[in-house]
Structure 1
Amino acid sequence: MHFNLADLFEAVADKVPEREALVCGASRCSYAELDAGANQMAHYLAANGVKAGDHVGLYMYNCNEYLEAMLACFKIRAVPINVNYRYVKDELLYIFDNADMVACIHHREFIPAIAEVRSAAKTLKLCVSVADDSDYALSTIDAVDYHTVQQTQNKARDFGERSGDDYFILYTGGTTGMPKGVMWPHKNVFFAAMGGGGHFSPLGACQKPEDMASRVTEHPLRGIALAPLMHGASWWYACIQLLAGNALILNHKRSFDGEAVWQIV
């Protein structure tokens, strides 16, 4: 076991498998269900050419699939890339190319935007579409349906050894120039941004990876991620909650809605 975010999450899932992990609108899942779904998507990505070090775009609004896909990438040592869903054509092509993205997991609503850059995005080979209220044809960009292909894969956690030096990339917002990918080794971000697993435990930060299970809260809290997961602050907050064994409530609205926030509360 290492200070790898997949290793650490699996330790939590094994400690509290039946505890609620994610809530997004009417969609809910336990830690065991989140882990199993991530395993299935990891197997699908690996079977379709995604390997360690490859970059996978996450081009979605807040949803349970966002975090499931993120974990799937970590499980096979691939690198999730946050994609701003407000990007227009040139910005979208820039991040696809700059990140050397080989796959993109996206809401179906974004098929027209991807179609505009699909042929010019030289490294992009695989598009996996998460269903929403839109009905754009998957064939437009040769995409496959997320849950359909996920269900073809086994739930086994039979992956190779990982490392705390595996990394993920967080793209900046580009407010003072073009967005830039900031590389974070898992071990570094676990301690620098996530408190080393000690935010909710009197034991403090983990001293070794095997300490993770002992940092799981005995009485779980419920935390709300209001901001889009494509932003680092919300992404890190989500990981902090999941690595503590808490329930993470996602804001499922496409933009800020104060009344809806209080309904969630």
Structure 2
Amino acid sequence: MNTDYLPGFTPYPDDFAARYREAGYWLGETFGALLRERARQHPDSTALVCGTRRWSYAELDRRADRFAAGLTGLGIAARDRVVVQLPNVAEFFVACFALFRIGALPVFALPAHRRHEIGHLCAFTDAAAYIIADSDAGFDYRTLAREVQAAVPALARVIVLGDAAEFIAFDSLYADAIEIAGPQPGDVAFLQLSGGTTGLPKLIPRTHDDYLYSVRASADICELDRGSVYLCALPVAHNFPMSSPGTFGVFHAGGCVVLARRPTPDDAFPLIEAEGVTITALVPPLAMVWLDAAGATRHKLDSLKLLQVGGARLSAEAACRVRPVLGCALQQVFGMAEGLVNYTRPDDTPELTANTQGRPISPADEVRIVDDEDRDLPDGDIGHLLTRGPYTIRGYYRADEHNARAFTSDGFYRTGDLVMRLPSGHLVVEGRAKDQINRGGDKVAAEEVENHLLAHPAVHDAALVSMPDAYLGERSCAFIVTRGAPVRAIELTRFLRERGVAQYKIPDRIEFVERFPVTGVGKVNKRQLREQIAQLIGTPL
């Protein structure tokens, strides 16, 4: 039993940890050992396809060892935090598995994050290094690194894939492999970002034991094997394409991961045909784009057996189009980086697959649906989703005050989701109880954007709300009360960009009002604002 935990990490209680081990959920495996074992079993099998590069399991394993040696030479050690912000490239996995083998912790940032988010991650985690590409999609990440280093002087090491300029070249770190003690299965493996509702994202600590259980169980449910070919079209650092079953699930099964730099049909459809892709995952807006494009494509998509859709609720109408249009099965996925994951199953009826977001992975997943007073509700009633289990965290990293609100006294995580449970155990997601906008799977915390807007000298008050959108599900609208000085929406948008706010967080629409409607207790009535913008754009809530 590990008693030497990472400071800021909330461990599973000893009795629960013992129970999960005895039941066979936690097998005492680490990510580094997983890759090593697959390289031993299937050294010549293709693990990764990235453009024209095809890496076997043995090659990926060797590169991870050599990169781990190079990182160690830089002084990166166990428990060091390293912010990783890479696009969908093979080196993402080299960096991850190298850090896993050292026992250092990747902090998974997304390519869309900018100075505001990256500066926070580097400062909050006391990051020992920051790993980036030189540029991607027209954005120069070296410029971002310079800005972050100016704000976080303690960030001493920036590692760049490609033209490193004054920084450390990624490829220069491949060194002769060395013996490294490595982590224990109960150690924290990495930190993921929450889709939080208040301010900057919280960090989610996942252990080797708990995350690998989720990966194995997901791979089993999705019937992965050595013949599985997974197209990673979504950003590779997202929890969904990482573990549900995602890239790590495919590595567990000994299959092949194909990386798409963009999730568009123009990029993805040729890869499906060329590589014989059998499974992929999308968020609902992308699924709709694929469905619209499939009828006109010249590429054969008949190898595709399963399309997973998650990140936001898929309409039943769209769900029913998947098999007729794409010729493959649909699997709905509902989960969170904090833990609980639900899948529709291959033997579910068409009605369950189209109209629900699945049921939990594990028989040990404890799910409660409660009212505002934490009283349990019967099946069929809509309520707040609470959960705990063998792969759901017991606390955010270094967030004691927030954890007291986000978790019950007996360890149930308050997800913030409103759901209805059917007698079969399937969940129907009805929305969010928290002040969060789900912009096509990208989560936007209203308070964070409001705080940025309030920093503008012409803004007296700001309220960010969702507005319905046929493509993304939700877009964002900022209602602004000015101080009297004239200001244009384009100026506020430019102001947010200059503050380093990620593009997907910038309001899609800005409305200027004289005052906000308020509730009976004087709070801003966001429900009324949502109704107001829905009426204005002519789209019902």
The question of whether the paired residues in 1 share the 8 Å contact of 2:115 and 2:147 is answered with: yes
Aligned match for 1:53, one of 57, 60, 79: 79
Unaligned segments of structure 2, at least 5 residues: 1-26, 136-140, 273-541
Amino acid corresponding to residue 228 of structure 1 in structure 2: P
Output one character per residue of 1:13-56: Cα deviation in whole Å (capped at 9) or x when no partner.
Answer: 11101110000111221101001001111011111111111111
Aligned match for 1:226, one of 233, 241, 250: 233
In the other structure, the counterpart of 1:213 is none
Structure 1 residue 242 displacement after superposition: 0.9
In the other structure, the counterpart of 2:169 is 145
- Structure 1 stretch 170-179 or stretch 58-67: which is displaced more? 170-179
Partners of 2:119 and 2:50 in 1: CA distance: 29
Query: SS state of the match for residue 184, structure 2?
Result: coil
Query: SS state of the match for residue 56, structure 1?
Result: strand
The question of whether the paired residues in 2 share the 8 Å contact of 1:225 and 1:248 is answered with: yes
- Please list, as runs of the form range in 1=range in 2, the aligned pairs for 1:156-195 lying within 5 A after superposition: 158-167=179-188, 168-174=190-196, 177-195=199-217
The question of whether the paired residues in 1 share the 8 Å contact of 2:215 and 2:248 is answered with: no
Query: SS state of the match for residue 100, structure 2?
Result: helix
Aligned match for 1:6, one of 32, 42, 54: 32
In the other structure, the counterpart of 1:114 is 145
Aligned match for 1:16, one of 36, 39, 42: 42
TM-score (norm 1): 0.83
Unaligned segments of structure 1, at least 5 residues: 202-215
Structure 1 residue 174 displacement after superposition: 4.5
Structure 1 residue 200 displacement after superposition: 7.1
Structure 1 residue 125 displacement after superposition: 1.9
Partners of 2:28 and 2:176 in 1: CA distance: 24
Output one character per residue of 1:169-207: Cα deviation in whole Å (capped at 9) or x when no partner.
Answer: 111245653111101111011113442864577xxxxxx
Amino acid corresponding to residue 138 of structure 1 in structure 2: A
The answer to which structure has the higher strand fraction is 2
The question of whether the paired residues in 2 share the 8 Å contact of 1:99 and 1:181 is answered with: no
Is 1:97 the counterpart of 2:119? The answer is: no
Q: Answer 1 or 2: higher relative contact order, Cα 8 Å, separation at least 6.
A: 1
- Please list, as runs of the form range in 1=range in 2, the aligned pairs for 1:179-218 lying within 5 A after superposition: 179-195=201-217, 198=220, 217=225
The question of whether the paired residues in 1 share the 8 Å contact of 2:38 and 2:252 is answered with: yes
In the other structure, the counterpart of 1:35 is 61
The question of whether the paired residues in 1 share the 8 Å contact of 2:145 and 2:158 is answered with: no
In the other structure, the counterpart of 1:205 is none
Partners of 1:252 and 1:70 in 2: CA distance: 18
TM-score (norm 2): 0.42
In the other structure, the counterpart of 2:253 is 244
- CA RMSD between the two structures: 2.1
Output one character per residue of 1:56-86: Cα deviation in whole Å (capped at 9) or x when no partner.
Answer: 1111111000011000000011101111222
Question: Which stretches of structure 1, 4 residues or more, deviate above 3 A after TM superposition?
Answer: 173-177, 196-201
Partners of 2:219 and 2:41 in 1: CA distance: 14
Identity of aligned residues (%): 23
Aligned match for 1:260, one of 253, 263, 267: 267
In the comparison of the two structures, how many residue pairs are matched? 238
In the other structure, the counterpart of 1:211 is none
Partners of 2:215 and 2:200 in 1: CA distance: 24
In the other structure, the counterpart of 1:235 is 242
Partners of 2:198 and 2:110 in 1: CA distance: 16
Aligned match for 2:111, one of 55, 71, 85: 85
Structure 2 vs 1, CA of residues 245 and 178 (structure 1 numbering), >3 Å: closer, same or farther?
same
Partners of 1:36 and 1:235 in 2: CA distance: 21
- Structure 1 stretch 170-179 or stretch 13-22: which is displaced more? 170-179
Query: SS state of the match for residue 119, structure 1?
Result: helix
Structure 2 vs 1, CA of residues 163 and 104 (structure 1 numbering), >3 Å: closer, same or farther?
same
The question of whether the paired residues in 2 share the 8 Å contact of 1:200 and 1:244 is answered with: no
Query: SS state of the match for residue 150, structure 2?
Result: coil
Structure 2 vs 1, CA of residues 16 and 119 (structure 1 numbering), >3 Å: closer, same or farther?
same
Is 1:72 the counterpart of 2:98? The answer is: yes
The question of whether the paired residues in 1 share the 8 Å contact of 2:28 and 2:186 is answered with: no
Query: SS state of the match for residue 238, structure 1?
Result: helix
Amino acid corresponding to residue 149 of structure 1 in structure 2: L
Higher gyration radius (CA)? 2
Amino acid corresponding to residue 193 of structure 2 in structure 1: Y
Partners of 2:240 and 2:105 in 1: CA distance: 18
In the other structure, the counterpart of 2:159 is 128
Amino acid corresponding to residue 114 of structure 1 in structure 2: A
Partners of 2:147 and 2:110 in 1: CA distance: 16
Partners of 1:155 and 1:112 in 2: CA distance: 32
Structure 2 vs 1, CA of residues 234 and 125 (structure 1 numbering), >3 Å: closer, same or farther?
same
Structure 1 residue 121 displacement after superposition: 1.6
Structure 2 vs 1, CA of residues 175 and 24 (structure 1 numbering), >3 Å: closer, same or farther?
farther
Partners of 1:145 and 1:115 in 2: CA distance: 15
The answer to which structure has the higher helix fraction is 1
Structure 2 vs 1, CA of residues 175 and 27 (structure 1 numbering), >3 Å: closer, same or farther?
farther
Query: SS state of the match for residue 73, structure 1?
Result: helix
The question of whether the paired residues in 2 share the 8 Å contact of 1:75 and 1:159 is answered with: yes
